[in-house]
Amino acid sequence: MIVKPKGTYDLYGVDEKIYSYITNIVDDYMINYNYDKIRTPIFEDSELFHRGVGETSDIVTKETYDFQDRSGRSVTLRPEGTAGVVRSFIENKMYGNRSDAIKLYYNGTMYRYERPQAGRFRELTQIGIEAFNSDSVMIDAEVISIGYNILRELGLEAVVKLNTLGDTESRLNYKKALVEYLKPHIDSLCEDCRNRLEKNPLRILDCKVDADSEVLKNVPKIQDYLNDESKKRFTDLKNALMGMGVEFVVDPKIVRGLDYYDHDVWEYELVDGSLALGAGGRYNGLVESLGGPSVPAVGFAFGVDRLIALVKNKVKDQTLEKNIDVFIMSVNEEENIYALKISQELRLNNISCEINSANLSFKGQFKQADKLGAKQLIILNSEDLAKGLVNVKDNQTKEEKKVDESEIVDYISGII
């Protein structure tokens, strides 16, 4: 038997319904917030992720699916959505002469060669949003609140863990202070931390191995190294979020694993502090570093796979139940032909229905109709059909009525 690749899963049944339920809610939200959908390729030129996500990030150094195509081009399965959207934004000159915010969202599979475990997959699905062309904290607050509100709508009590990495000047000063502080203690930290000291010292702050060490508990805090402008920006953002009623906690350990962020970064976590449900931040330098003009941007992405399991416990059974309008019952060839004809008319008139396509017994069809939540039954029999009539039975009240076959669409439309 050929089995699915490690770290992937098939989405069907209830889980697929939950996935569609989540994406429908997001699609509705995005209309309210005036975001347009974008689809970009699943594979891109490898260089995009090396330059975009960052040479020192775990994602690029350890987790990308890189391969050469048959012409020897180096391509990579996208590990995340932001770099591809930025590439498309630049290539299609979406910035044009616009001075308004350009707001995009996406939904698709990403690929990371991670060690599969609960909530961590090699093929993962993200729903992400990216807002370009505005440096105002209004857009940061809007973007953060979208994720927060969607999680609430899904019944999940999530909190925003918020931090700032400041602007380039603040970050450089902080990195310097951090390296000076860590250097004398570095031998007591794990191998990953030792490797990160020179290349990406900020990542040491969110190390899971050394999280409880005294060394990391006493590290200098970025808040003490922010210049006035970065400080003001962070205060304005916190005030805006408070005004909107978005619950957040400032967590200096949130530094993010991708290299492109500056200013605010955040993660959505369940109140019990388990896996991150989503994460994002501002990335004002990325568009320019990928060859575009200097355009500020901010965004986040949810891990949909993680949401599915959680939402499954929350949604009412009703949301997942099948609820077709009509089940058409037939037992012989003549009735089957009528069943097909009537089903065609109903479906083309936007009435959902099912027929006896698996040749079930009369009793079996009643059971099947109940399983599908059919509101009405059309019970065909040759005698009535010869007179141009069909039997319609209300599956709740059990009342029956003979209806002229030529009027069946109007009759059903009137009662469902």
Out of 299, 329, 330, 392, name the contact with ligand HAM by CB under 6 A.
299
Q: Which two tokens stand for residue 66?
A: 């890189």
* DSSP H helical ranges for 92-184: 137-153, 168-182
Number of residues near ligand HAM (by CB under 6 A): 26
What is the spatial distance between Cα 287 and Cα 92, in angstroms, rounded to a whole number?
Answer: 13
C-alpha distances (whole Å) from 405 to each of 272, 353, 378, 379 are: 59, 16, 10, 12
What's the farthest any 2 CA atoms get from each other in the chain?
Answer: 96
Query: Least CB distance from residue 113 to ligand HAM, whole Å?
Result: 9
Nearer to ligand HAM, 166 or 303 (CB): 303
Residue nearest to ligand HAM (CB): 303
Out of 52, 84, 201, 281, name the contact with ligand HAM by CB under 6 A.
281
Site for ligand HAM in 229-258 (CB under 6 A): 257-258
Query: Least CB distance from residue 11 to ligand HAM, whole Å?
Result: 13
SS3 of 300, please? strand
C-alpha distances (whole Å) from 201 to each of 56, 183, 297 are: 10, 10, 24
Contacts of residue 191, Cβ cutoff 8 Å, sequence gap at least 6 = none
Q: Does 305 bind ligand HAM (CB under 6 A)?
A: yes
Q: Nearest-CA neighbor of 308 among 116, 114, 160, 119?
A: 119
What is the spatial distance between Cα 19 and Cα 177, in angstroms, rounded to a whole number?
Answer: 45
Site for ligand HAM in 256-275 (CB under 6 A): 257-258
SS3 of 237, please? helix
Nearer to ligand HAM, 124 or 240 (CB): 124
Question: Is 96 in contact with 111 (CB distance < 8 Å)?
Answer: no
Alpha carbon 119 to its chain centroid, in Å, reads 13
Out of 25, 65, 75, 120, name the contact with ligand HAM by CB under 6 A.
120
Mark 400-416 as b/e (b = at least 16 C-beta within 10 Å). eeebebeebeebbeeee
Out of 126, 170, 330, 356, name the contact with ligand HAM by CB under 6 A.
126
Out of 162, 226, 279, 310, name the contact with ligand HAM by CB under 6 A.
279
Nearer to ligand HAM, 265 or 378 (CB): 265
**Interface map 59-98 toward ligand HAM (x if CB under 6 A):** ---------------------xxx----------------
Q: Does 111 bind ligand HAM (CB under 6 A)?
A: no
Nearer to ligand HAM, 89 or 121 (CB): 121
Task: List interacting residues with ligand HAM (CB under 6 A).
Answer: 80-82, 112, 114, 119-121, 124, 126, 128, 130, 257-258, 276-281, 299-301, 303, 305-306
